[in-house]
């Protein structure tokens, strides 16, 4: 032992001497490569790094240090012309700072954060009404637009209730309750005609027309279609379809041969008898898979002697429905005329599902009183139930998701019932179903959580996750408001827009349900197309309106960045924008949004673009300002990598009369020559992409903005998923099992005082 002691002391001393320190690993790099630009006088980018030359600054200026690490990791800093550390020196600096952050985080008590009471947003309200009552109600058409925060419209702190919205809730409750029960008498049937001569229809193409029509009362309607003209004696029947709000309702076979009547009249009518929901709708009528018109001229297409075409839509109704409404079956589990016990059962079941928890007897008693009030006023029992349903739908217990704090000073695990609502509104944007509720009521949900996540993601209702999370993360919702210039982009129309949205939604769902690795978001070898979008992409062999999975062999397409939806929302109405597209990638893919531009940046002279050079040449002149170059060096490179796609995502090789140059060199030295090579470069930054998606999904799942204390959760999730290449469905499971999703804390005195000051 005496012989070993000197050697042991020597080993310990040597280890201490080699252990990294701030003075050895960080301070020399900062002094040599950073201080020259980021000092007391210049403070480039608004950052003065002089006070950061000691280890204490890691705690006092953590946000700035994290920005520094991110800039060094991506190669953006130091800029060209400044002394650059070797890769080993940069790695040592980043490793030391990250280790210090990890050490500091372990000393802090975990904080699950606080989620405020959350109002149902418009999508959640629509879906909840559908699942609760079986009624199709479009809140997006009746309610004011929801405010957004942190990129999403389900953030509790911004979902307020205005007087106008409260009035909308009251009106909607009355209409929804009436549609659910159908106890009120219907008015006499009326006719409403939409005809070509009155310009009351929109002609989509030679075989399709469209009209906006308000259905005032839910019920059965006769829908009659005017079909002038004829085709040859050997003409085959053609399938006629009726769509409502983009959904195919019914089809029939329409005859196109000349009439055999003695007194020939080339005008015929076809009709359907359908149940229609109340509300404002867009109806589309069209021939499906009709090759006959493809060889006709425009004049022949509307000639009664050459073609059978669609001229008008006539709505006649409402008529009493012959079959019981699904909503009535859902509610009327017994005959309410049999007595109070049945009424209490109906309302107890309804309130339990609407409030997403068991209900007390006095709550049910208050609802049953509405039935008694209705009877006193001479109304029927069913009309009394409608009043009770209205009361349920305007209750705060329905409109808000409230999680109560028993001890505001201590974090607690959310109850199984609260967890059920968190889970269902995360994945379905709707209320828990019966299976989730029963598991929660018996306190068995946590034990069955993984199985429930898998079941819920396989359910058709999970399409809401793609529409609401992916639609906002990838900004695909903006397709409804973009208006590409019809002169420069004549191919743009409603069908193409809808096809773009569908491709991205189906792609996201496939990535989720198949648990695909996250890298495939950037460069997948498959997508989902119908004939409209396939022609837009120049891909052959896809026919018909139905979407199907298509394997990609051409490197022009691959991953979400080549989806026409993404390329369109990241363009101007008249042209592409490398700046917008580059910013899109930094913000939504790499999680490194650039700062706002300085106010004195000169505008791009678009008038010279068509004659003075390509867009890239103009942008490079625009970027000679060193202030601009600091941000644009990375942003524009990414945007120019997508210049082969025009403003609506069509492949091109020229910008006007100028050849396109889509090559680029990233600040870290990695280069590419084409969009496909750029996707390979982006895949090398997969950890940044995975962290970005994790942050956005956690924000959406919690319904609140992320705070510094959430970084531990994000770090833990990304480290767990990294060895398996970040499988996407596994990310959902990790978020559901995470501390902030499973727990909550009360309001701290500081938060409470901040709100009081803000409300003064």
**Range of the structural domain that residue 95 is part of:** 4-106
Backbone angles phi, psi at 39, to 5 degrees: -130, -175
Whether residue 703 contacts residue 156, with contact meaning beta carbons closer than 8 Å, is answered with: yes
Domain end point (choices 298, 319, 340): 319
Decide if pLDDT at 622 tops 90.
no
Same domain for 100 and 214, yes or no, is: no
Same domain for 493 and 635, yes or no, is: yes
Q: Is residue 403 part of a domain?
A: no
Q: How does DSSP classify residue 467?
A: I
- Identify the band that residue 369 occupies on the pLDDT scale cut at 50, 70 and 90: very high
**pLDDT tens profile 494-544:** 889 999 999 999 999 999 999 999 999 999 999 999 999 999 999 999 998
Which percentage of the chain shows pLDDT scores above 90? 62
Q: Is residue 123 part of a domain?
A: no
Same domain for 650 and 739, yes or no, is: no
The structure tokens 């946590």 sit at 446
Same domain for 514 and 627, yes or no, is: yes
Q: Is residue 609 part of a domain?
A: yes
Q: Residue 78, preceding bond cis, omega within 30 degrees?
A: yes
Pick the closest to residue 585 from 628, 663, 638, 511 (CA basis). 638
Q: Is residue 74 part of a domain?
A: yes
The 3 state secondary structure assigned to 50-117 is HHHCCCCHHHHCHHHHHHHHHHHHHCCCCCCCCCCCCHHHHHHHHHHHHHHHHHHHHCCCCCCCCCCC
Domain end point (choices 274, 291, 319): 319
Q: Is residue 398 part of a domain?
A: no
Same domain for 612 and 664, yes or no, is: yes
Distance CA 649, CA 565 (A): 8
Distance CA 709, CA 104 (A): 11
- 694 alpha carbon, distance to own chain's centre: 15
Domain count, the chain: 4
Q: Which of helix, strand or coil describes residue 384?
A: helix
Range in 40-54, 433-447, 731-745 the model is least confident about: 40-54
Q: How does DSSP classify residue 323?
A: S
- Identify the band that residue 11 occupies on the pLDDT scale cut at 50, 70 and 90: very low
Whether residue 705 contacts residue 668, with contact meaning beta carbons closer than 8 Å, is answered with: no
Look up the CATH number of the domain holding residue 254: 2.60.120.260
Half-sphere exposure of 52 toward its Cβ, with a 13 Å CA cutoff? 25
Contacts of 660 (CB under 8 A, 6+ apart): 614, 616, 643, 644, 652, 653, 654
Q: How does DSSP classify residue 432?
A: -
Burial 504-521 (b: 16+ CB within 10 A, else e): bbbbbbbbbeebbbbbbb
**pLDDT tens profile 195-210:** 988 888 998 888 999 9
Whether residue 461 contacts residue 467, with contact meaning beta carbons closer than 8 Å, is answered with: no
Distance CA 526, CA 542 (A): 14
Whether residue 270 contacts residue 252, with contact meaning beta carbons closer than 8 Å, is answered with: yes
Same domain for 299 and 204, yes or no, is: yes
Same domain for 731 and 625, yes or no, is: no
Question: What value does the mean pLDDT take over residues 378-391?
Answer: 94
**pLDDT tens profile 211-237:** 999 998 889 999 999 999 999 888 899
Q: Alpha carbon of 179 to those of 186, 279, 351, 369: distances in Å? A: 11, 11, 18, 21
How many CB atoms are located within 10 Å of the residue 575 CB?
A: 18
Contacts of 7 (CB under 8 A, 6+ apart): none
Q: Is residue 735 part of a domain?
A: yes
Q: Alpha carbon of 698 to those of 469, 692, 731: distances in Å? A: 11, 10, 10
Domain end point (choices 319, 339, 360): 319
Same domain for 617 and 522, yes or no, is: yes
Backbone angles phi, psi at 232, to 5 degrees: -65, 170
Q: Edge-to-edge strands of the sheet including 208-215?
A: 202-205, 208-215, 279-288, 238-244, 247-254
Same domain for 521 and 648, yes or no, is: yes
Q: Which of helix, strand or coil describes residue 593?
A: coil
Same domain for 682 and 721, yes or no, is: no
Pick the closest to residue 475 from 637, 634, 635, 585 (CA basis). 585
Q: What is the mean pLDDT of the chain?
A: 88
pLDDT at 523: 95
Q: Where are the alpha helices (DSSP H) in 286-325?
A: 298-301
Distance CA 413, CA 635 (A): 42
- Identify the band that residue 631 occupies on the pLDDT scale cut at 50, 70 and 90: low
Q: Is residue 528 part of a domain?
A: yes
Token pair for residue 746?
């009360």
Decide if pLDDT at 283 tops 80.
yes
Q: Is residue 568 part of a domain?
A: yes
Same domain for 93 and 207, yes or no, is: no
Distance CA 707, CA 691 (A): 15
Pick the closest to residue 30 from 94, 98, 102 (CA basis). 94
Decide if pLDDT at 2 tops 50.
no
Whether residue 386 contacts residue 181, with contact meaning beta carbons closer than 8 Å, is answered with: yes
Question: What value does the mean pLDDT take over residues 643-653?
Answer: 96
Question: What value does the mean pLDDT take over residues 361-379?
Answer: 94
Question: What value does the mean pLDDT take over residues 671-681?
Answer: 96
Same domain for 594 and 734, yes or no, is: no
């Amino acid at each position: 032992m005496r012989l070993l002691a000197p050697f042991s002391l020597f080993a310990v001393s040597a280890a201490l001497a080699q252990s990294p320190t701030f003075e050895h690993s960080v301070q020399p790099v900062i002094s040599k490569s950073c201080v020259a630009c980021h000092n007391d006088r210049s403070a480039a980018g608004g950052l003065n790094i002089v006070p950061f030359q000691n280890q204490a600054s890691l705690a006092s200026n953590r946000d700035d240090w994290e920005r520094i690490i991110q800039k060094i990791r991506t190669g953006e800093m130091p800029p060209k012309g400044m002394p650059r550390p070797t890769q080993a020196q940069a790695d040592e600096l980043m490793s030391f700072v990250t280790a210090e952050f990890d050490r500091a985080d372990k000393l802090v008590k975990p904080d699950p954060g606080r989620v405020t009471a959350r109002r149902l947003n418009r999508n959640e309200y629509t879906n909840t009404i559908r699942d609760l009552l079986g009624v199709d109600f479009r809140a997006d058409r009746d309610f004011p637009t929801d405010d957004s925060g942190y990129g999403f419209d389900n953030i509790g702190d911004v979902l307020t209730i205005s007087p106008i919205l409260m009035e909308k809730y009251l009106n909607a409750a009355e209409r929804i309750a009436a549609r659910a029960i159908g106890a009120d008498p219907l008015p006499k049937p009326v006719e409403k005609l939409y005809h070509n001569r009155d310009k009351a229809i929109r002609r989509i193409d030679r075989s399709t027309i469209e009209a906006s029509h308000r259905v005032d009362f839910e019920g059965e309607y006769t829908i009659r279609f005017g079909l002038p003209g004829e085709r040859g004696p050997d003409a085959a029947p053609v399938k006629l379809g009726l769509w409502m709000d983009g959904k195919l309702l019914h089809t029939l076979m329409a005859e196109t041969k000349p009439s055999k009547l003695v007194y020939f009249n080339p005008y015929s009518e076809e009709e359907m008898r359908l149940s229609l929901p109340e509300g404002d709708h867009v109806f589309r009528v069209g021939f499906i898979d009709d090759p006959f018109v493809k060889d006709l001229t425009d004049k022949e297409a509307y000639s009664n002697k050459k073609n059978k075409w669609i001229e008008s839509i006539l709505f006649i109704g409402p008529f009493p429905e012959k079959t019981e409404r699904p909503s009535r079956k859902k509610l009327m589990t017994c005959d309410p005329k049999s007595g109070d016990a049945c009424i209490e059962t109906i309302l107890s079941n309804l309130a339990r599902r609407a409030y997403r928890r068991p209900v007390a007897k006095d709550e049910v008693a208050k609802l049953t009183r509405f039935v008694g009030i209705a009877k006193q006023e001479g109304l029927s029992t069913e009309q009394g139930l409608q009043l009770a349903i209205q009361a349920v739908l305007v209750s705060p217990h329905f409109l808000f998701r409230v999680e109560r704090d028993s001890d505001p000073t201590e974090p607690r695990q959310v109850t199984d019932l609260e967890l059920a609502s968190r889970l269902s509104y995360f994945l379905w944007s709707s209320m828990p179903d019966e299976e989730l509720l029963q598991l929660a009521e018996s306190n068995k949900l946590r034990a069955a959580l993984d199985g429930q996540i898998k079941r819920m993601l396989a359910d058709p209702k999970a399409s809401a996750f793609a529409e609401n999370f992916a639609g906002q993360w990838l900004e695909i919702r903006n397709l409804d408001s973009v208006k590409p210039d019809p002169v420069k982009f004549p191919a743009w129309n409603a069908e193409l827009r809808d096809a773009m949205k569908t491709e991205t939604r189906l792609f996201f769902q496939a990535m989720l349900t198949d648990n695909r690795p996250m890298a495939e978001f950037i460069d997948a070898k498959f997508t989902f197309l119908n004939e409209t979008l396939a022609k837009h992409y120049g891909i052959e062999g896809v026919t018909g309106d139905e979407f199907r999975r298509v394997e990609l062999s051409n490197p022009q397409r691959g991953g979400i960045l080549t989806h026409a939806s993404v390329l369109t929302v990241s363009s101007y109405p008249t042209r592409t924008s490398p700046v917008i597209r580059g910013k899109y990638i930094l913000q939504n893919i790499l999680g490194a949004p650039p700062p706002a531009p300085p106010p004195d940046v000169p505008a791009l002279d678009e008038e010279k673009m068509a004659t003075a050079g390509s867009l890239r040449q103009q942008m490079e002149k625009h970027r000679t300002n060193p202030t601009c170059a600091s941000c644009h060096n990375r942003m524009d490179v990414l945007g120019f990598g997508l210049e082969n796609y025009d403003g609506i995502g069509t492949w091109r090789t020229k910008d006007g009369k100028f050849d396109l140059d889509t090559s680029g060199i990233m600040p870290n030295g990695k280069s590419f020559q084409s969009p496909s090579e750029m996707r390979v470069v982006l895949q090398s930054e997969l950890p940044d992409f995975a962290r970005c998606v994790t942050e956005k999904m956690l924000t959406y799942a919690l319904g609140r903005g992320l705070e510094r204390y959430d970084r531990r959760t994000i770090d833990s999730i990304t480290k767990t998923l990294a060895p398996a290449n970040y499988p996407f469905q596994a990310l959902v499971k990790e978020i559901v099992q995470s501390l902030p999703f499973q727990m909550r804390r009360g309001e701290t005195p500081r938060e409470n005082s901040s709100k009081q000051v803000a409300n003064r």
